[in-house]
Amino acid sequence: MSYLVEIIPCNSLVLSQKINLEKPMPSTSLANGNAGDRPPDVVADDKPGVSMMEQLVPEITTHALSYLDYPSLCRLSMTNSLMRKAANDDNAWKALYHKDFTLEQDGITPVNGWKAYYATTRAIISVNTGFFDIIRERSLPEMAQLWLNSDYVKCIHASGELFSGYSEVMQSWQLCFNWEQGFDFQVHNVRTRILTDMAWVTMKAYLNVDAGPFLITNVFEHHNGRWHMVHHHSSVMLIDGVNQQVVVH
C-alpha cells in the first residue's frame, strides 16, 4: 500500500489532499481457485470510522499543518480530539513562528511552548504597532497609558537626549507632538524576543525614502494583564558615515 499525499497551501480550515491507494486486486477463482476469497495474509487497508487524515503518520500530519495560518490552526484544534492534539503540537507552532516571524530563534526552547510563544509575539507586535499609531495621531493620553508609570522607565530620542522617569518621558513626548511636522513612520525588519514578563523589539523606521532609517529598540514589561513600554531608544543610522536624517523624535 502506498500513499501519495498532495497538500495545497490554504488560508481556510479545509486541507485539500489527494490520496491514491494501491490495493491488491480482489482475488478471483482464476487466481486461487476460490471465487471471491482473499489470501489469509492480506489485511484490510481501511480502518472503519477513522478518517484518512487520522491515518497519516505524525511527520506527514505536521508537514500538512505547516501550510495553515494562525486562525486556521486554531480552528482546526476545535474539530475533534485527534486534530486538537495535532494542532497543539509544538513542532507545528514552531514552524508557523518561523514562517510568520523569523528563523533567528530556532535554537531557543520557550518555557510555555511554541504556541504560547507565538501568541505572545503577536501580542507584542500589536502593542508595538500601536506605539507608532500613537505617534502618528500625536495622542499624549494614549502614550501615557502605554508607558509604565514608574521612575525607572527611560526614553532616548534620536537627538541623543536621555529622559528618565515617567514624568520626564511624558514631557519629552509632549515636545515631540508639539512639533509642526507630522510623523508617519514605515516600519520594517521587526524582530521580537520574549522572556516571561519582558520583551524587546528591534526595527528600522523610515520617514521618507530618500533618507536613512532610524534604528529603534522598544522594551516592554507585562503588568496586570497588559504590556507596557519601559524603554525606547531611537538613533539615526549613518549612511557612508553621514547623518542624512532630520532628527524628529
Residue-level pLDDT at 51: 60
CATH architecture assignment, domain 29-100: Up-down Bundle (1.20)
Buried-state track 133-149, b at ≥16 Cβ within 10 A, e below 16:
ebbeebebeebeebbbe
The pLDDT value given to residue 86 = 73
Q: What is the pLDDT of residue 76?
A: 76
pTM of the model: 0.69
- Distant-in-sequence, close-in-space partners of 144: CB < 8 Å, separation ≥ 6: 170
pLDDT at 58: 64
Would you give per-residue pLDDT tens digits along the chain (249 residues)?
444 444 434 443 334 444 343 444 444 444 444 545 555 454 445 555 556 555 665 667 667 777 777 778 788 777 777 777 777 888 888 888 988 898 888 788 898 999 999 999 999 999 999 999 999 999 999 999 999 999 999 999 999 999 999 999 999 999 999 875 767 889 999 999 999 899 999 999 998 766 678 999 999 999 999 999 999 999 987 665 555 554 555
Domain boundaries, the chain: 29-100, 113-236
Task: From the options 3.10.450.50, 3.40.190.170, 3.40.470.10, 3.40.1550.10, give the CATH code of 113-236.
Answer: 3.10.450.50
User: Which is nearest to 245 in space by CA: 197, 209, 219?
Assistant: 209
Per-residue model confidence (pLDDT) at position 210: 66
